[in-house]
Structure 1
């Protein structure tokens, strides 16, 4: 069985690695074009490309799939199966219809919940206790195809999106291995999604990560976890942007305005009033032009005025 792999970020690499290590005939890797990165805007290769090149797998980086420019390459490759993992673009019908065994997608949620580009981050932001991986047959919709396999995992109380991403990428490879194994043996389970239960997880941008101190403490903590490591929660102290990397929650009895800096608690962090009877304990910060550091370290060289309000 000839497999064409389509994926772009680090999340997709364990799935490609599994296919290679299991001895499958991976005939090519399709990924996004190289993009400028960092202050020097040097072109950076997608992680899937770096891995594919290291294994001698031919790499294809079409800038546009809809215009049919990839048709010739597709016909030359003639895949029996296309595996898609976080590729980043909607596949047109001519690709979806081409392979004998269809196009199978590995999605980082328990479909139909959290369709879209940001399922890992949004499930944490929304306070979910569990998530998982779903493999599915792809159709022309966004994550709307018939489901094949699902595997659940619990989300840790303090787990960040970055940590959950790493665990799900490993689980994704495991579920894909089982899915392709079933496909080799014959007809595999195919369950239509209950579309009325669908929720969506749009791509994140920096606007989502600004802290609203009038919200309950648990919602603020979930936001901080869900946007770590990108785009990172932030607030303003004296008109200076302060990124907030990690926090705890503690009950507090005060009628201060939400966002008020209450006190420093030794070996814990900086207490800030939330919109309920709790306060946020800020543990790690990063000010403009500075490095990420624990609040203890920051306060050894800087002062923060209690009673000031974070905006």
Structure 2
């Protein structure tokens, strides 16, 4: 394997020598015959010959030679000037665990160079409220161990027009000259003057098929509203709340027993490669963008701890099951019994008989569940999880 890499690199440098000879003798923009050939220059920036050298250095003979030929074959002097670098500089914005695989994939892909990471500052967490490092910050340190102190940014204020911190952040970000800002679950509104720093576009990965479920909780809202399919939207950001033009969509079906955890895991496994390909194609102008239909837009709000509260004797099984799927990870669904919280850890239903009983409560006056409920496990506050019979016999007599 090491020998193959050395051969790949050596072949690349052989081709580079010939390209440099071409640049010196025949290139319309660099050669000794520049004045004679002026007006026939390449329409791309950087020019095709320099682009070819860059990709051969970065990728080796293969796939560098493929990228070089592809560029040359698509170049004509009549084209408008087109910015098309050999790789794209990325500043990555995220503050949530779902962002980790996206950052990892960008870091592995030689078509991109992550030049900066922006995440939220360290915050107190857990029962002891100890200050914990943001997961994106932790992961960025592992992936990019030799970066300078300005590589990872944790600004509390972003707008350069409203604070000195914002001015300094804007200055640092501008100096990185990013082609794209890539945002996924960052957790803060990014002002327009920050979005405008991207040479090509600021890109957002949104956890629903827009224009449905704009806002902070698209994944949970999909389950709360009994959607049968969902997916990822890659969009070009603007100053609005998820109102930017859509670039591409990846859809997935939702099986009746899947939860938000399953959808998030699917996003984490399939989303990173989809993002990379979409960004690359958008940069190459293979993909365009289209406006959202604002008339079909719906919005979702931030999920609070109290969002998981249910009444098992009044709320329908359908409503409870939708919440169970939506809040499976956080905040969990729960009810209050004798002044204490009882979390529903597991709720499984029988699909065949569900429609017949979905409008009945989870528990009747005898504390029994509908026949369609196959499994019910609960966790009373301060106790271990238990099945429905143990809970009924120990708590509901």
What is the TM-score when the length of structure 2 is the normalising length? Answer: 0.68
- Secondary structure at the aligned position of 2:90 is classed as strand
Q: 1:49 aligns with which of 131, 137, 145?
A: 137
Work out whether residues 346 and 377 of structure 2, in 8 Å CA contact, stay in contact via their aligned partners in 1: yes
1:242, CA displacement in angstroms? 0.8
- Correspondence 1:227 to 2:327: yes
1:232 match: secondary structure: coil
Kindly indicate whether residue 376 of structure 2 is the aligned counterpart of residue 283 of structure 1.
yes
Of structures 1 and 2, the one scoring higher in RCO (CA 8 A, sep 6+) is: 1
Counterpart residue number, 1:135 = 234
Q: Which residue of 1 aligns with 2:99?
A: 12
Give the Cα separation in 2 of the matches to 1:257 and 1:89.
38
Match of 1:266 in 2: none
Q: Does 1:121 align with 2:236?
A: no
Other structure's SS at 1:272 match: coil
- Kindly provide the CA deviation profile for residues 34-77 of structure 1, in whole angstroms up to 9, marking residues without a partner as x: 11111222211222111111012521000111232311211222
- Give how far 1:175 is off: 2.0
Alignment pair present for 1:148 and 2:236: no
2:153 is aligned with 1:60 = yes
For the residue of structure 2 that corresponds to 1:9, the secondary structure is: coil
1:121-167: CA deviation from partner (whole Å, max 9, x where unpaired): 11111111110000000000010000000010111212121222121
1:171, 1:258 → 2: CA distance?
A: 35
Q: How many residues align?
A: 291
Which of 31, 36, 40 is the equivalent residue of 2:128? 40
Gaps of 5+ in 1: 264-270, 307-311
Alignment-derived partner of residue 390 in structure 2 = 299
Alignment of 1:250-261 (within 5 A): 259-260=363-364
Secondary structure class of the residue paired with 1:133: strand
Deviation string, structure 1 residues 2-55 (Cα, Å, up to 9, x no partner): 111111111111111111111221001000001111122221122211111101
User: 1:241-268: CA deviations, max 9, x gaps?
Assistant: 2111222346689xx98743546xxxxx
Secondary structure, aligned partner of 2:369: strand
Structure with the largest fraction of strand = 1
- What is the CA deviation profile of residues 210-253 of structure 1, one whole-angstrom value per residue up to 9, with x for unaligned ones? 11343331221111111111111111233332111222346689
Residues 274-296 of structure 1 deviation map (CA, whole Å, 9 limit, x = unaligned): xxxx77566121111123x2416
Q: Structure 2: which 5+ runs fail to align?
A: 1-87
Q: Give the conservation status (yes or no) of the 8 Å contact 2:177–2:199.
A: no
Query: Does the 8 Å contact 2:315/2:361 carry over to 1?
Result: no
For residues 50-199 of structure 1, what are the structure 2 equivalents within 5 Å?
50-56=138-144, 58-66=151-159, 67=162, 68-69=166-167, 70-186=169-285, 188-199=287-298
Q: TM-score, normalising length from structure 1?
A: 0.86
Note the aligned Cα RMSD (angstroms): 2.4
Q: Select the structure that is richer in helix.
A: 2
Specify the alignment match of 1:205 in structure 2: 304
